[in-house]
Each structure stands twice: as structure tokens, then as C-alpha cells.
A and B are shown apart, each in its own frame.
Chain A
Amino acid sequence: MRGLGDTFFNLQVIEKYLPALLSGFRVTLALAGAVVTLGILLGLTLAMVRAFRFRVVNWLIVAFVDLFRTLPQLVVLVFAYFGLPYAGITISGFTAATLGLGLVLAAFAEEAFWAAITAIPRGQWEAARSTGLSFAQALGSVVMPQAVRIAIPLLTNRTIAITKGTALASVIAVPEILDKAQSAMSLSSNASPLIIGAGLYLAIFAPFVVFSRWLERRFGWII
């Protein structure tokens, strides 16, 4: 044994596999961006649709939300990638991961936005409607701007947790950080690529966490 340094910080290994890991970094970044965009926008849309209280539509929304809040993320990913082809739908690993994690995030985001919408006092609706705003206008101009602020602290933790799930995409052959790190590890029989991988995750998610703290402070003033 040549010591801890060689096993975990082997410069030769790092130099050799760094380009592969950096390409994984770009994939993880793109995947995280796609998941957050899909999840938050879809969750927001579903919550706003739910506010209109169409019975059948709401029933479907609640069923979707409860299903995707219940299923483990890994199960969703595996199903999207290995299950859908049996239904004649073949999608790339990247698309499957975006869809799988995005839908899970959408389910949680819908609940957060919905909780925030129901927390807006009735008087806000009444003030808006009494000045002639339609339901949709009251929702868009009065209720949602306040609801989004309330939802942000509820959302940030969940968004970070689910977005970190991009590492699960290694299971369905998405060439992201963990996937690259694992193959580099087996090729080199050395743990250094994993250390670099961990560092790359930090590089993505530490700013994310700092940004979410800023958001929470920035919009924490209401109610």
C-alpha cells in the first residue's frame, strides 16, 4: 500500500480522467437545469390549474401528485428508461432522467404552490374580484405573486434533494458525473476520480444552496 494520498489523490489518474469527468459535469449541469425547469414550471402550472377547481381535472392532478410523491425516484427513472420501450416509446437516458426527476419535482412543487395558494387570505381574492378583476386576473396578479413568495422556502430543500437525484441517472446510462467517475475508478483501480466527482457535485450544488438561501431571505418578508 502506498498510502492514502495515492488512493484518493493520485495526480496521474486525475489528469488522465479529468476530461471525462468534466464532460460528466456538463451533463449533470444540463440535467439539473432541465429537471428544475420542468419540475418548477409544471408544478406551478398544475397548482394554478387546480385553483380553478374543476372537479375531474383536480382529481387527476391530485392522483398524479400523490403517485409521484410516493414512488422512489430510482423506480421512476428505471421505469421511464427500461419500461416505456415496451409501450413502444424509446427515449434517451437523458430524456428519461429529465422526465422522471422532473415529474417527481413537479409533484412536490405542485403541493408547495397549492399550499401557498390556499394560505392567501380570502380578503385578497375579494378585494381583487370586487374591483372587477376576473378569477384568472386575481389569481395571476394578486394571489400568485404572494403565493410564490410563500412557496419558496417550502420548495428550496425539496428542489435541492431531487436535483441531487441526477446521480441516480448513472443507473440508466446517462454519462453524468457519477457514471464517469465510476468507470474511471474501475479502469484505474483508484478512488481519485470519485473525489474529483464529489468536488464537481459541490461546485454545482454549493452555489445552488447559497442561491436558495438568498431567495428565502429575499422573499421571506411576506406574512
Chain B
Amino acid sequence: MANDCFLLEIDDLHKSFGDLEVLKGINLRVRPGEVIILIGPSGSGKSTFLRCINRLEEPTRGRIRVDGTEIMARGVDLNRVRKDIGIVFQAFNLYPHLTALGNVTLALRKVLRMSRQDAEACGRRMLEHVGLAEKADAYPSELSGGQQQRVAIARALALEPKLMLFDEPTSALDPELVGSVLKVMRDLRDEGMTMVVVTHEMSFARDAGDRVLFMDGGEIVEEGPPSTIFRNPAHQRTREFLQRVLHV
């Protein structure tokens, strides 16, 4: 088995909330540098699936390997695992009491134990990377939604993760601010970052995704390259979903 060519391996992942089974056995292999797009109707389980990958949601059962580390194993150091998996949330979740730079440097100082000086140098580089060098000293409440989300991306990138998860990163943004965030994500892709992205931005899915997964009812209904999924979906459910979202 050539396990080594996969950065993320997920086998038979299940998640239930009480009697409600939200994920019904998900399997996924992701190669380094690959960009996976998760689409599907709301309630299909895509966010839950994404959040299981760094165990923000605790899977009910299944296997998850990130760069060879079995992260569901008993006794695994979850904080160490999470350092390698960045996540960006729909609601940004910036720390309101810290500046943009403070948001980016907190984990550098607390988790990586960097000195304040080193952390701030690194933090400024990260903010520059997302085009916000001049906003280092601004508080989240002083930033637009698009800027906040780019700070959140910088915060995740600062830890040099191997994998980035995006949970509907542009859904809370005004339409004119979406582009700035997608641009940062496209740049990341071009730099070779491995990404799993839950999104409703179909144009982004089409031109930035290597593979599109359509989820419905807690399962991956079909997957394939964007050209196939968008032009020639095999399943009726996929066709219906695409018709709804592409013609609204």
C-alpha cells in the first residue's frame, strides 16, 4: 500500500447526534497539494464532515489519518495534530479583544512557544501574505468582513499547517467582499497548499478545485473533476442540486 502519497485518508467515518446519523460512512483520499471542494444542500453533513477532520466534532467511529498520523487513536496529542490542520470558519471567529496581529500571534506564542519578537515578525509576514500588512494593529471590529476573514486565514497559516479546511469561508460576506477572500485561497492553491473547502461559490469550485464531492444525506453521492460534475453529473440528486444553485 502506497499510503505515503496521501496527506489525508478517511475511512468509513460516521457521526451521529443522538439518534440522528449525520455522516453515514465517508471515505476520502487526498493527495498533497490537492484542492477538494465539498458541495451539497444544507443539512447534507458537509460542515460536520469538515469539522470531524480536526475533531472539533468528535466522530462516532471511523479512521482519520493526517500525514500518516492516526488522529482517532487513543492517546493521540490532539493539540499537536491540530497545529497541522488549519481551519477557517464561516463566522471568522476572530478574538475581539486582540488586534489582527494579536490574533495571528497567539498560537505562535502559546503553542509554538515563540518569543514575542519572533511571533510578531512571523505574524506580520502572514498578514502581508493576505494583503493586510497595514491592518496589523486594527481590532476585528475595525475591519470589514473580508478583511476579518483574511486575518483568520493568516491566523491559521501562521502555524504552517499541512492541510487547510475551509467551512463556507465566504458565506457570511457581502458579495463585493467575496473576491478578496477567494483570491487569497487561489494564491494558496497555487503555492501548493492542500485544501478541503466547503463552499457555495460554484465558480470557485469550477476553476480552483481538483475534485468536487457532492454530499447529500450524510453520504458522498458522487465525486469527480469539476468539469465532469458540473457538465455531466451522473446522479439525479446532483443534477437537481446544481440546477437549483446555478440558476438562482
Task: Report if A131 contacts B (CB, 8 A).
Answer: yes
B159 contacts across to A, CB distance below 8 A: 131-132
Asked whether B91 lies within 8 Å of A124 as measured between CB atoms, the reply is: no
**A138-161: which have CB < 8 Å to B?**
141-142, 145-146, 149
Asked whether B93 lies within 8 Å of A129 as measured between CB atoms, the reply is: no
**B75-101: which have CB < 8 Å to A?**
79-80, 82-83, 85-87, 89, 91, 93-97
Give Cα A142–Cα B105 distance, bound, in whole angstroms: 12
B1 contacts across to A, CB distance below 8 A: none
Asked whether A123 lies within 8 Å of B89 as measured between CB atoms, the reply is: yes
A221 contacts across to B, CB distance below 8 A: 141
Task: Report if A134 contacts B (CB, 8 A).
Answer: yes
Contact partner, A123, options B93, B97, B155, B156, Cβ 8 Å: B93
Asked whether A131 lies within 8 Å of B97 as measured between CB atoms, the reply is: no
Known: A137-B110, A142-B106, A222-B96. A131 touches B82 (CB 8 A): yes
Asked whether A130 lies within 8 Å of B97 as measured between CB atoms, the reply is: no
Contact partner, A222, options B56, B79, B83, B97, Cβ 8 Å: B97
Task: Report if B149 contacts A (CB, 8 A).
Answer: no
Give Cα A82–Cα B116 distance, bound, in whole angstroms: 54
Asked whether B93 lies within 8 Å of A127 as measured between CB atoms, the reply is: yes
Task: Report if B5 contacts A (CB, 8 A).
Answer: no
Give Cα A134–Cα B82 distance, bound, in whole angstroms: 10
A residues contacting the other copy or chain, number (CB 8 A): 21
Give Cα A145–Cα B97 distance, bound, in whole angstroms: 7
Give Cα A126–Cα B167 distance, bound, in whole angstroms: 13
Contact partner, A130, options B56, B80, B96, Cβ 8 Å: B56
Shortest CB distance B76–A (Å): 13
Task: Report if A133 contacts B (CB, 8 A).
Answer: yes
Asked whether B80 lies within 8 Å of A132 as measured between CB atoms, the reply is: yes
Q: Which residue of A lies closest to B97 (CB)?
A: A145
Shortest CB distance B134–A (Å): 23
Task: Report if B245 contacts A (CB, 8 A).
Answer: no
Contact partner, B97, options A121, A128, A146, Cβ 8 Å: A146
Asked whether A141 lies within 8 Å of B54 as measured between CB atoms, the reply is: no
A141 contacts across to B, CB distance below 8 A: 106, 110
Asked whether B91 lies within 8 Å of A129 as measured between CB atoms, the reply is: no
Task: Report if B107 contacts A (CB, 8 A).
Answer: yes
Give Cα A129–Cα B111 distance, bound, in whole angstroms: 10
A binding-site residues for B, Cβ under 8 Å? 121, 123-124, 126-134, 137, 141-142, 145-146, 149, 221-223
Cβ-closest 5 pairs across A and B: A131-B107, A123-B93, A127-B93, A132-B83, A132-B111
